[in-house]
Structure 1
């Protein structure tokens, strides 16, 4: 399931490395070719909201298999596309159908005991991170040597094999609810209002993911600007440091199982604040500034990914029959936070340069609700009773049985 998460999510990200090759191959402008990656991302966001809630209404194994088959066909169509319009349409379908990781995560959470839920989510999250990191390398290397169509065709074959394997190996399960589709979508929106644990997790992750997006959006402006005068390839090299978070995610899951999501969230907020301070030293330029950027980005990436594990462990413990809808609401809020962070970072950089972006990162982390409070409350009183992901307390034994 972790491998399936990585292979599936890679289909959303590898087109980003093919933009110049697509422009040359189809005879279109680079800006038009960049629309391929944009359409795929927008399709992914739409698929999360429109398709993931079906995980509570339909058996997940056939749903996942069908989505993988649709993705494989769309990848094949994109690899054989004769013109830009056909390619854009195929990439939109790829983005919409490539929501399998967001169905596998709640499915895995329901297959294990509560005291192992964090560890399992961390393992799948590690596969997801690996797919995101390797996707651009996969697309760039294959595209450079075999043409821009080759990554699509290879990805189509891999996705088809994955559909066959998961169709045989995934456990069968009955639908959790019988609600109609409009009621599923309405229920997803309503849960944000009625479930306090969901709001807490969603807003916390939206704030931290906003800080993450702000840093990486403005980083390209800093690296290619007069302070460093490097090319965009340097940003790609710096992105490889995120591989560390692929190994930290399972460890964060085990920590959630032992200490509760509040403690992990508190550490992540603290690490994000520290990352903002370290990243601020990147404004000095030179070797010292580049080292500060590397360390700060590493700390920020690990904090955001570990927070993702903790928050998903919390929401999956709320209502077992609604895990897919809970994940839909959570991921939608997270994407909105990331989009806001990217938009604000460009304006902060224009107004105050890189130090202004670092202040924005610190403010975003400070907005993460209740995380630090949970740490101190946990030290005084033990795990909060309203946090279902907190480890259970054991009553002391007495001399006579109750």
Structure 2
């Protein structure tokens, strides 16, 4: 660790509890830009005269761009004042969304989508910022609040994209998102507190530190493994869902994908509770519950093969379970990560989220190709395999308690 690290600035006076709510809203609005294109895949394919599996590359490159942006840009949160960094990235995102909405061909759309993904890393700058503004006893709760905003953005984005796209064309969601993102940048300029950089290291050193932390911090690697596997299954299911719903088995529009996403948005209310569970029981136990929920989701999602009303109900319940598993697991994982090294939270989050979205990108690619080759049943199998792999990351011994680090002596008292 560099000798140039210095303590993070104390909590700004007067931020109270409203600032985390505003930050949660900002997380939701910005992260939606990565996810609403998933509901537009059939419309993009029809407009450009390409196969749906080819159009699904739009979702993949957007997530890959997000992974690249996480690795290259989020470490700057430890080196630069976060407020101008966050608002500058929102301005770039708005311009890229505008370019995507005006794209004359599929190639330029892919290029603009990649830039959107790269610049839409604002939530991963806001999360470590929020974690540094509260004490350890409230960290899980505040992370849960921001995670609820993320969940709302992820799931409502599909409804936003599906409904607007169905009625006004696939370009409209991009243009509306460009305006909303620009407005968000203005609001955050005047609302976010000023924070001092945590380190003075040069940019290449920050990137090397991120890789070094992935090598040295076992708890970081455990969080990465949990999220890569479960989030990969999540991305596979949601990418293939639009192809299933608009295909011959259901023959419905992208609006139906958006409505299913609205049902799944119920999981956003679980994230603050998950934060409290992490504060009380520890991240390991919450991760185990999430793995079990993902396995249950894989089983329930197979009812989508029935078609009709019964299939739609099964899809809604299964997706809700899967959403709860991914989002509550995210709260547990990030609470574990942010407790490791306070002066390096942005770099720790960089390593964690970069790997998570590489897993999500792989899941999107696998989901689209599994559906094209073998159908929805194969996609459900992918979700089940991902959950089984995630279970391998659960510790064999006693689950770690909140705030307990690896190698820390265990309490000898058996009192409850």
After TM superposition, the score normalised by the length of structure 1 is 0.82
Structure 2 equivalent of residue 201 of structure 1: 223
Pick which of 131-140 and 338-347 moved more.
338-347
Output the CA distance in 1 between the equivalents of 2:32 and 2:252.
24
Counterpart contact for 1:53–1:325, Cα < 8 Å: yes
1:177 aligns with 2:199: yes
Inter-partner Cα distance in structure 1 for 2:44 and 2:297: 37
Contact 1:75 1:91 in 2 (8 A): yes
1:385 aligned to which of 388, 404, 407:
404
Provide the aligned C-alpha RMSD in A: 3.6
CA deviation vs aligned residue, 1:122-160 (integer Å, no higher than 9, x gap): 111111121222324334555566666554444333323
Q: Matched residues in 1 for 2:145 and 2:287: separation?
A: 18
Structure 2 counterpart of 1:56: 78
What secondary structure sits across from 1:172 in the alignment? coil
Once residues 112 and 23 of structure 1 are traced to their aligned partners in structure 2, the CA distance between those partners, rounded to angstroms, is: 46
**Aligned: 1:300 with 2:322:** yes
Q: Is the 8 A contact 2:67 2:358 kept in 1?
A: no
Selected match of 1:121 from 125, 140, 143: 143
Assess if the C-alpha contact under 8 Å between 1:273 and 1:361 holds in 2. Answer: yes
Q: CA deviation at 1:282?
A: 4.5
Would the alpha carbon gap of residues 368 and 79 (structure 1) be closer, same or farther in structure 2, given more than 3 Å must change?
A: closer
Q: Superposition pairs for residues 73-92 of structure 1, below 5 Å?
A: 73-79=95-101, 89-92=111-114
2:352 aligned with 1:333, yes or no?
Answer: no
Tell me the SS of whatever aligns to 1:162: helix
Aligned length: 389
Range with bigger deviation, 10-19 or 130-139: 10-19
Distance in 2 (alpha carbons) for counterparts of 1:360 and 1:150: 33
Aligned partners of 2:304, 2:166: CA distance in 1, in Å? 32
Q: Report whether the alignment pairs 1:100 with 2:122.
A: yes
Q: Does 1:190 align with 2:212?
A: yes
Q: Over residues 234-267 of structure 1, what are the superposed CA-to-partner deviations in whole Å (9 max), with x where a residue is unaligned?
A: 4443333211111111111111112111111111
Q: Does 1:29 align with 2:46?
A: no
Is the 2:288–2:391 Cα contact (8 Å) retained in structure 1? Answer: no
In structure 2, runs of 5+ residues without a counterpart are: 1-22
Instruction: Show CA shifts across 1:51-99 (max 9, x none).
Output: 1111111111111121122223334445566676665554443322211
Q: Could you say if the C-alpha distance between residues 78 and 278 of structure 1 is closer, same or farther in structure 2, counting changes exceeding 3 Å? A: closer
Distance in 1, Cα, partners of 2:151 & 2:117: 17
Deviation at 1:385, TM superposition (A): 3.2
**Residue 164 (structure 1) aligns with:** 186
State the alpha-carbon separation in 2 of the partners of residues 215 and 22 from structure 1.
Answer: 19
Alpha-carbon offset, residue 194 of structure 1: 0.3
Query: Larger C-alpha radius of gyration, 1 or 2?
Result: 1
What is the Cα deviation at residue 30 of structure 1?
Answer: 4.5
Contact preservation (8 Å) 1:142, 1:150: yes
How many Å separate the matches in 1 of 2:402 and 2:354? 28
- TM-superposed deviation, 1:314: 0.6
Instruction: Identify which of 127, 133, 155 aligns with 2:177.
Output: 155
Partners of 1:151 and 1:346 in 2: CA distance:
22
Residue of structure 1 aligned with 2:67, choices 45, 51, 66: 45
Counterpart residue number, 2:275:
253
Shift of 1:280: 3.9
> Could you list the runs of 5+ residues in structure 1 that have no partner in the other structure?
398-402
**Alpha carbons of 1:241 and 1:349: their partners in 2 closer, same or farther (altered >3 Å)?**
same
C-alpha separation in 1, matches of 2:375 and 2:62: 31
Cα distance in 2 for residues equivalent to 1:63 and 1:166: 11
CA change 1:382–1:125 in 2 (3 A) is closer
Q: Distance in 2 between matches of 1:290 and 1:206?
A: 27
Preserved CA contact (<8 Å) 1:20 1:30? no
Query: What's the secondary structure of 2:398's corresponding residue?
Result: helix
How far apart, in 1, do the equivalents of 2:386 and 2:173 lie? 37
Of 274, 296, 320, the residue aligned with 1:274 is 296
CA distance 1:174–1:271, change in 2 (3 Å) = same
CA contact (8 A) 1:266 1:371 kept: no
- More off after superposition, 202-211 vs 133-142: 133-142
Distance 1:219 1:7 in 2: 22
The residue number in structure 1 matching 2:335 is 313
Measured after TM superposition, the shift of residue 38 of structure 1 is 5.1
Return 316-325 or 290-299, whichever deviates more. 290-299
Q: Which moved further from structure 2: 154-163 or 200-209?
A: 154-163
Map of 1:400 onto structure 2:
none
